[in-house]
Structure 1
Amino acid sequence: MILPSASPVSWLLALAAAAAYAVPAMASARLNAIGARNALLLAWLLHATTLVWGLWGGAPRFGFAPALSMTAWLVLTVYAVERQLFPQLQARWMLAALGALAVVLAVLFPGQPLHVAASAWLPLHLALGIACYGLFAAAVVHAWLMTRAERHIRQAEDPQNGIPLLTLERLTFRFVTAGFVLLTATLLAGWLFGEVLYGHAGRWDHKAVFSLLSWLTFAALLIGRSRFGWRGRIAVRMLYAGAGLLLLAYVGSRFVLEVVLGRSA
């Protein structure tokens, strides 16, 4: 099996972004707040440049790894905005490590070339899907912070991130709700306009099945929270389950096609 190779420019940009991410990830304890913020900002900009080059520099490609890279970049964008509102939010080292891993993975597996004859609406549909991934990934990060804070409170320890537990919970479900709206729009667009977007009507494949299961899981979570007050472990576990199913829907199916089977579709 021969995997597609990225261009030298993509490699250069990806390695620069990964090196910039490594600074706050590995030396967060030795950096002051301004130094860590500037290092993460530089990595974020290099990551964005890598994504832009992958889509518009030379032959545009897309696949499971670029999708993960875009998702990581969106999560880092959300984190940067939230840090302005909640300066005590502490997840820099974890997100920097995630960004470094995602950008290297995208250059190792750049995906398949995008068809020139594809519908002009296809980029919008892909953007909806990636934005959906980003929002649910942000919800997962907040759920992890919420679980960590709850554990520290039970053990009578300093929660470290300094954000009240109820605030973290509220932020988590705001991301879940926004992600659910985008997921619904993405699925409806795929089923109603599949022939225009992909040249064939909506069909029941692995991606469709996992996407629908994910949608049902998130719908049950939001209904359970609204009507029965679900929170804590049961809500977090359902969030993780829905996010896992959604990850399998596109990223999982594309990984099997591109890497395991070596096919483009």
Structure 2
Amino acid sequence: MTLTLASALALLAYALAAWRGRGAQAMPWLGLGWAAQAVALLVDIGGLGDGAAGARFGVGPALSLTVWLVMAVALLEGRMLPLEALRRPLALLAAAAVALAWTLPGQSHQASSPWAPLHWALGLASYGLVGAAVLHAWLMQRAEAHLRSARPAVGPGLPLLRLERLTFQYVAGSVVVLGAALALGAWFSPRWQWDHKTVFALLSWGVLAALWLGRWRLGWRGRQAARWVYFGSALLLLSYAGSRFVLQVLLGRSV
């Protein structure tokens, strides 16, 4: 019941934020939706009221948490960057994520090691960091395209160099956090499994690490860097969320 009420409140708030659009009236509704989504995620992933020990994960909560973390970044940076044009798309994306998490709730997972919760937290945090990198890479591309065409940028005075710096900061953070999650999982797991989740996560880490190194040694930037960010994020999406979607939704298996 708490999950349903929190999800319904989040959906309503995000719908009102999308309706308000770019106006300042959208901000309170975005904040309310973000808070209600946090409660829904806490109830779902924490398994509150479920009666079963252990955390609950699934494709819906994973994607919802990713969007929630990206929304948190956007709300914080909205005080420093003119991101008014993103309010409606983010509100619609967050509403879709809440609906998906409510439709496909998490399933109970028992911790195989005391380090397992930290591994799970790092893995989910890496999704949020990569999602933030994708958001900034897209903004960077838009700002660069408008600058080349002498048209107004995404928002008034959107700074291209600052967006580029933020994009690579999130890429660096995702490399560190995802690498730590992979190392921790390999360390406490009794038997390393080369399943789809592990392979795609390693490939994603390799792509993002190569981008980070290319930025540092070769000065990669602009559209080239954005394509690497998109490719790395697609691989990461296929790792956990993609494999769970196939197992949980397409094959109907308990994972």
Interval of TM-score (by shorter of Structure 1 and Structure 2): over 0.9
**Does 2:121 match 1:127?**
yes
Match of 1:4 in 2: none
Work out whether residues 57 and 109 of structure 2, in 8 Å CA contact, stay in contact via their aligned partners in 1. yes
Matched length:
248
Question: Matches of 1:10 and 1:187 in 2, distance apart?
Answer: 30
Per-residue deviation, 1:73:
0.8
Per-residue deviation, 1:89:
2.4
Q: TM-score, normalised by structure 2?
A: 0.92
RMSD of aligned C-alpha atoms? 1.5
Match of 2:48 in 1: 57
Q: Specify which of 190, 193, 213 is matched with residue 185 of structure 2.
A: 190
1:87-137 deviation line (CA, Å, top 9, x unaligned) = x2232112111110111100100032233x643432221110111100110
Per-residue deviation, 1:262:
1.4
Which residues of 2 match residues 13-52 of structure 1 at below 5 A?
13-29=6-22, 31=23, 33=24, 35-52=25-42
Question: Matches of 1:43 and 1:120 in 2, distance apart?
Answer: 33
Letter in structure 2 aligned against 1:127: A
Stretch of structure 1 that moved more, 58-67 or 44-53: 58-67
Question: Matches of 1:152 and 1:204 in 2, distance apart?
Answer: 44
Q: TM-score, normalised by structure 1?
A: 0.89
Match of 1:251 in 2: 241
User: Unpaired runs of 5+ in structure 2?
Assistant: none
Q: Kindly, what percent of the aligned residue pairs are identical?
A: 50
User: Unpaired runs of 5+ in structure 1?
Assistant: 1-7, 196-200
Per-residue deviation, 1:249:
0.5
Which residues of 2 match residues 1-265 of structure 1 at below 5 A?
8-29=1-22, 31=23, 33=24, 35-54=25-44, 55-59=46-50, 61-86=56-81, 88-90=82-84, 91-115=86-110, 118-161=112-155, 162-195=157-190, 201-265=191-255
Work out whether residues 111 and 258 of structure 1, in 8 Å CA contact, stay in contact via their aligned partners in 2. no
Letter in structure 1 aligned against 2:2: V
Question: Matches of 1:118 and 1:38 in 2, distance apart?
Answer: 41
